[in-house]
Homo-oligomer: A and B are copies of this chain.
Amino acid sequence: MALVVQKYGGSSVQDADRIKKVAERIVRTRKEGHDVVVVVSAMGDTTDDLTDLARQISPAPPAREMDMLLTAGERISNALVAMAIHALGADARSFTGSQAGMLTTSKHGDARIVQVNPGRLRNALDEGSIVLVAGFQGMSEDSKDITTLGRGGSDTTAVALAAALEADVCEIYTDVDGVFSADPRIVPDAAHLDTITYEEMLEMAACGAKVLHLRAVEYARRYNVPLRVRCSYNEKPGTLVAGSIEEIPLENPIITGVAHDRSEGKITITGVPDTPGMAARIFRTVADAEINIDMVLQNVSHSGDQHTDITFSLPRTDGPTAVAALERVKSEIGFAEVIYDPEVGKVSLVGAGMRNHPGVTATFCEALSDAGINIETMNTSEIRISVICRVDQLDDAVRALHEAFELGGDEQAVVHAGTGR
């Protein structure tokens, strides 16, 4: 008998019929003899609908109250799934984040899990019950207020529970069959991956692969929780995220996949005085506006000139805020201009094997060049190469890299509709 944590996204529970289907799968897992803990996101568009309602009432609702509001969505969906399980003759109990002992920091809207005290869940499991936990939410350790975990919060809830309960596996149910070597909507012969290491999955998620959220993968890696990404609509085994790149055999493929991200913008600051501390002042300005920057490129100073250019990418939604913050310090820092470009995309190649194989970067650049794609900014890690290009060339870039590294599979991937939180 194993302990299995399952997480279902909002599209998997968007109406009564889907909720019943999810309940059937949960009860089946229980009947196979496993203890089951389930984390469910809010139904379909609930979170968006509640957010709209809040905006009708206040242009800037207080974050504490937004958390009180939004967490109602997961309460509803979890209670309904519990009812559906009961209707199938099994015992189920739903718990809120605070009842589940999910203690967090007090940063409303983007809290971090500090500690998980799953005593009540353990008791319910010992009594033979299936346990449901409202995802995305917790309780501030300090203020005892209700908090939310931000984007991907339900995935993080599931992984944190799996870690605290020492579960055998944490299954993340979604609308795709697992992790692929590229987005099957762009690359029809994208190969299904049976396994992927935590590090590679982290790079993929950080570079735009939407199947898993970065924080959930980070959490899984830290606590060594095996993650299995599966589809809600079939019985395929999905993709196992586990293990370290240090452990994988050398004969494994060099490259794992191609990720892409359409959600970034690019800011270039020209004529920055080439004196110590200038870059720091620029990035401090952006950080003070609570914006995370992604790739950074500082060009070398032109000979004879005492100025340089700094380029960085950032979430496109933060673009206007960053520009406004930088304009305010323009004269103080003494740079020439802030240029904002929202028309960029990022394509990344990820693979644990590239550490030991020279020539990957060369092949990468040749493939893009052959496809007529100009590289605007490049950035690498030990197991990843990312570049910024024009957003309208992004799909071509993904296909060119996927082909150049021969990542294609034997069959076409099935694409299902809808996504969860």
Pairwise interchain contact A69-B79, C-beta atoms closer than 8 A? yes
Q: Give CA–CA (A80, B87) in the complex, Å.
A: 33
Contact flags A65-95 to B (C-beta < 8 A → 1, else 0): 1101101110110111011101100001110
Pairwise interchain contact A61-B75, C-beta atoms closer than 8 A? no
Pairwise interchain contact A58-B86, C-beta atoms closer than 8 A? yes
Main SS of the interface on chain A? helix
Q: Give CA–CA (A50, B71) in the complex, Å.
A: 16
Pairwise interchain contact A87-B19, C-beta atoms closer than 8 A? no
Q: Give CA–CA (A288, B73) in the complex, Å.
A: 37
In chain A between 215 and 247, which residues have their CB closer than 8 angstroms to a CB of chain B?
Answer: none
* A117 → B minimal CB distance (Å): 13
In chain A between 25 and 62, which residues have their CB closer than 8 angstroms to a CB of chain B?
Answer: 50, 53-54, 56-59, 61-62
Pairwise interchain contact B72-A76, C-beta atoms closer than 8 A? yes
In chain A between 306 and 351, which residues have their CB closer than 8 angstroms to a CB of chain B?
Answer: none
Q: Give CA–CA (A211, B331) in the complex, Å.
A: 66
Judge whether A120 is part of the interface by a CB distance below 8 angstroms: yes
In chain A between 108 and 164, which residues have their CB closer than 8 angstroms to a CB of chain B?
Answer: 120, 144, 146
Judge whether A16 is part of the interface by a CB distance below 8 angstroms: yes
Q: How many residues of A contact B (CB 8 A)?
A: 38
Q: Give CA–CA (A61, B16) in the complex, Å.
A: 13
Pairwise interchain contact B83-A65, C-beta atoms closer than 8 A? yes
A76 touches which of B50, B62, B93 (Cβ 8 Å): B50
User: Given A20-B57, A76-B72, A87-B57, are A82 and B62 also a contact pair (CB < 8 Å)?
Assistant: yes
User: Given A65-B79, A99-B144, are A57 and B72 also a contact pair (CB < 8 Å)?
Assistant: no
Q: Give CA–CA (A76, B67) in the complex, Å.
A: 10
Pairwise interchain contact B83-A62, C-beta atoms closer than 8 A? yes
Pairwise interchain contact A75-B71, C-beta atoms closer than 8 A? yes
Closest to A87 in B: B58
Closest to A61 in B: B83
Judge whether A64 is part of the interface by a CB distance below 8 angstroms: yes
Q: Give CA–CA (A96, B146) in the complex, Å.
A: 10
Pairwise interchain contact B93-A64, C-beta atoms closer than 8 A? yes
* A41 → B minimal CB distance (Å): 14
* A72 → B minimal CB distance (Å): 4
In chain A between 379 and 417, which residues have their CB closer than 8 angstroms to a CB of chain B?
Answer: none
